[in-house]
Amino acid sequence: MQFKTLLTAIGICGLTACSGNKGRQEQTVPAKDAETYTNSIQTRLNEYAKVKLTADLSHLSANQKQAVKLMIEAGGIMNDLYWYEAYGNKGKLLDSLFWYDSDPKTDIADVDRSPRPDLRAFIEINYGPWDRLDGNSSFVKRIGSKPKGANFYPADMTVEEFENWTNPDKKSPYTFVRRDKTAKLITVPYHEMFSRQIQKAAGLLRQAADLAETPSFKKYLRLRAEALLTDKYFESDMAWMDVKNNPLEVVIGPIENYEDQLFGFKSAHEAFVLIKDLEWSKKLERFVRYLPDLQKNLPAPDAYKQEKAGTNSDLGAYDAVFYAGDCNAGSKTIAINLPNDEKVQMAKGSRRLQLKNIMRAKYDKIMVPINKALINEKQQAFVNFDAFFSNTMFHEVAHGLGIKNTITGKGTVREALKDLSSTLEEGKADVLGIYMIQQLAKKNEIESDMKPYYTTFLAGIFRSIRFGASSAHGRTNMIRFNYFKERGAFSRSADGKYTVDYGKFAQAVDALSKDILVLQGDGDYAKAKAFIEKYGSVSPELQKDLDKLSDFGIPRDIVFEQGIDVLGL
C-alpha cells in the first residue's frame, strides 16, 4: 500500500536526513520553500469557481425525493473508496497534515500545528496531496510525486515485474495489486477490500429501489446493489441500458480508468445523482437515429469502420445534484457516456448523459472570459452556449462511432493501447463530434453555419488544455491544438489573439479523425505513443497565453457546494 510505503520512506528519512531514497517515486519532486507553498495554495484554490449544485425538484413525488436522498448517501460512500484508490489513507493524511506539510528540515517539536483550512480544502478538491490541474504535482511538502498507478498497485512495483507476473486477475478493472507477507504480488478484489463500505452502499441502493416508481429503474438499482457486492457489473449495465423516461438517475460504482495512469486497467469508484430533463431529452433523441449512417461515412478507410454503431442508444439531458469520487476529483465531468463494457455496447449501444447545469456553469464561469481574452474580437460573437452544448453533446455521441476492436488481431483497442487508450478515445470523440455536426448541418438537421461550432471548439481547447497533462482530456486537447496549428486551422496574432480559418479547420477535423481511427484500429502501441509525443506538448508561446488566463484570474474549473442540505431535502 502506498501509505505504508510513504511511512517507510519517512522513517528512513528521519534517520538519514533525507540523503538516500533516490529513485523512489516519493522522492522525485524537489522541495519548495514554505512561502511558495503557502502562497500557491490560495492561488490554486482560486482556480476553482464555487458553484451550488441544485436543480428543480418541485415535480418529484415524496418517494422520489426520498430516493434522491438515499442515492446521495450511497454516492457519498464512493468518496471514501476513491480516496483510497487515488491516495491511500485519507484520515491519516489529514490528521498528520501539520507534520506532512512541514519543512522536511524542521524537527517535529518545532512543526507549526495550525489547522491550515486552505490546504485541507485543496486536498479535498484533489482527493489527495497532488494537484490534478498541475500534472499531479505535489503541494504538500513531505510528499513526493504521485505514483502513476495511484494506489491500485504497490508503489515499488515495476512495469517489468507486473508483466512477468502470471495471474489471471491482474488486469481486471476490479482488483488491487498488493504484496503478500513474502512480498509476492497478489490481487485483492474490490469487493473484499471494501466489503464494509459496499454492504452499506448496496443497502441504501436497495432502499431506493423500494421507492422507485418505474420497474426498469427498480430493477437496475437492485442489480447495481448486487454488482457492488460481487464486482460483476454486466447484468446491471444491461439493466441500466433499459432505464428510459425515469426522472431520476444514479451512476455508481468503479467506472472510469483514468486514475490508473500506469496501465489504464483499474477502474475508480464514483457516483453521480441526476435529475432528468425529460423535455430536453426528447429533442436530443432524434440525433441517435443518424449514427449508423454517420458510421458508414466516417473519414477513414473501410476497414476501420466495419463495426456497427449501437442504435438502441439513449441521449438525455440531466441536471446533476451530486458528484462523488473520480468524477468529482479536480476537473468536473460535463457529460457521461456509459457503459464502458464493450460487450454491453455491442449488444445495446450506450447511453449519453449531458449534464446541462454543469455545462452552463462552466460556460458562464470559464468560457465567457476565455473568449474575451484569447479570441480575435471579430470572431468573439461566434462563441456561444448553444455551440458549446452541441460540441459537448456530439463528443459524447461520437464515442459510439469508430471501432472498439483492433483490426490487427490485437484484441480491443483498450487492451492494445493500454495507458494511451483514453487519450486517443477522448481525441476521437472530440473530432468525430465536430464531424457529426458537419454532417448533420449538411442534412439541415441543425443550424448550418459552422462558424459558432468551430470558434467555440477552439475556445474550448484552451479551456481543456488547462486541465493539464495528467488528464486524458487535457492531453488530447494539446494534441489537437498542435495538430490543428500545423494545418493552419487557426492563426495567432502578435497580441496573442487567435483567429479561426474556417476552411482549413474543416480539413483538419477530417485529417485528425482519420489519423486517430487508424491508430485505434491498428492498435500499434509504439505508433500511438510516437503520435502522442509528437503533438502532446505545450509550446512556450501557448504557455504564455495560458498564463495570461491565470493572470486574469479566470478559473480553470468549478468546485461544488453540494449535498442533501444544499438541495433542501
At closest approach, how far in Å is the CB of 331 from Zn ion?
A: 12
CB of 464: closest distance to Zn ion in angstroms? 11
Q: Which amino acid is at 98?
A: F
Q: What is the 3-state secondary structure (H, E, C) of 72-124?
A: HHHHHHHHHHHHHHHCCCHHHHHHCHHHHCCCCCCCHHHCCCCCCHHHHHHHH
Residue whose C-beta lies closest to Zn ion: 429
Q: Which is nearer to Zn ion, 429 or 500 (CB)?
A: 429
Closest C-alpha among 231, 233, 267, 271 to residue 249: 271
Stretch that binds Zn ion, among 65-73, 185-193, 429-437, 441-449 (CB under 5 A): 429-437
Q: Give the three cell numbers for residue 119.
A: 490546504
243/429 with CB nearer Zn ion: 429
Rounded to the nearest whole angstrom, what is the least distance from the CB of residue 416 to Zn ion in the complex? 19
Residue 38 in 3-state DSSP? helix
Among 429, 472, 478, 508, binds Zn ion (CB under 5 A): 429
Contact 209, 252 (CB under 8 A): no
> Judged by CB, which is closer to Zn ion: 249, or 426?
426
Cα–Cα distance measured from residue 265 to residue 174, given in angstroms and rounded to the nearest whole number: 9
For the bound state, the minimum distance from the C-beta of residue 430 to Zn ion, rounded and expressed in Å, comes to 8
What residues have CB less than 8 Å from 510, skipping those under 6 apart?
Answer: 299, 435
Nearest distance in Å: CB 511, Zn ion: 20
Nine-digit cell at 151?
A: 494506489
Tell me: does residue 209 bind Zn ion (CB under 5 A): no
Nearer to Zn ion, 340 or 357 (CB): 340
Distance between first and last Cα of the chain: 39
367 vs 429, beta carbon nearer Zn ion = 429
Taking CB under 5 A as the rule, does residue 472 contact Zn ion? no
Query: What distances in angstroms separate CA 448 from CA 439, 441, 453, one per listed residue?
Result: 10, 4, 10
Contact 171, 108 (CB under 8 A): no
CA dist list (Å): 402 to 241, 257, 443, 513, 526: 20, 20, 21, 10, 21
Beta bridge pairs of residue 561: 52
Q: How far is the CB of 477 from Zn ion (least distance, A)?
A: 12
Quick one: which segment of 359-367, 422-430, 458-466, 487-495 binds Zn ion (CB under 5 A)?
422-430
In this complex, which beta carbon is closest to Zn ion, that of residue 73 or of residue 426? 426
Q: Which is nearer to Zn ion, 269 or 352 (CB)?
A: 352
Q: Report the nearest approach of Zn ion to the CB of residue 515 (Å).
A: 18
- Can residue 459 be called a binding residue for Zn ion (CB under 5 A)? no
Nearer to Zn ion, 225 or 516 (CB): 516
Q: Does 424 bind Zn ion (CB under 5 A)?
A: no
Q: Give a three-class secondary structure readout of 458-513.
A: HHHHHHHHCCCCCCHHHHHHHHHHHHHHHCCCEEECCCCCEEECHHHHHHHHHHHH
DSSP class of residue 232 equals: -
Residue 66 CB, nearest approach to Zn ion (Å) = 33
Q: How many residues bind Zn ion (CB under 5 A)?
A: 2
Helix H or strand E segment including 421: helix 421-442
Phi-psi region of 88 (alpha: psi -120 to 50; beta: other; left: phi over 0): left
Instruction: Identify which range of 19-27, 42-50, 65-73, 418-426 contacts Zn ion by CB under 5 A.
Output: 418-426
Q: How far is the CB of 429 from Zn ion (least distance, A)?
A: 5
- Write down the residue that cell numbers 528519512 correspond to: 13
From 89-97, 143-151, 421-429, 452-460, give the range in contact with Zn ion by CB under 5 A: 421-429
Minimum separation from the CB atom of position 158 to Zn ion (A): 31
- How far is residue 264's CA from residue 262's CA, in Å, rounded to a whole number? 6
26 or 430: CB nearest Zn ion: 430
Part of the chain binding Zn ion (CB under 5 A), chosen from 30-38, 116-124, 237-245, 426-434: 426-434
Residue 430 or residue 515: which is nearer to Zn ion going by CB?
Answer: 430
| Site residues, Zn ion (CB under 5 A) | 426, 429
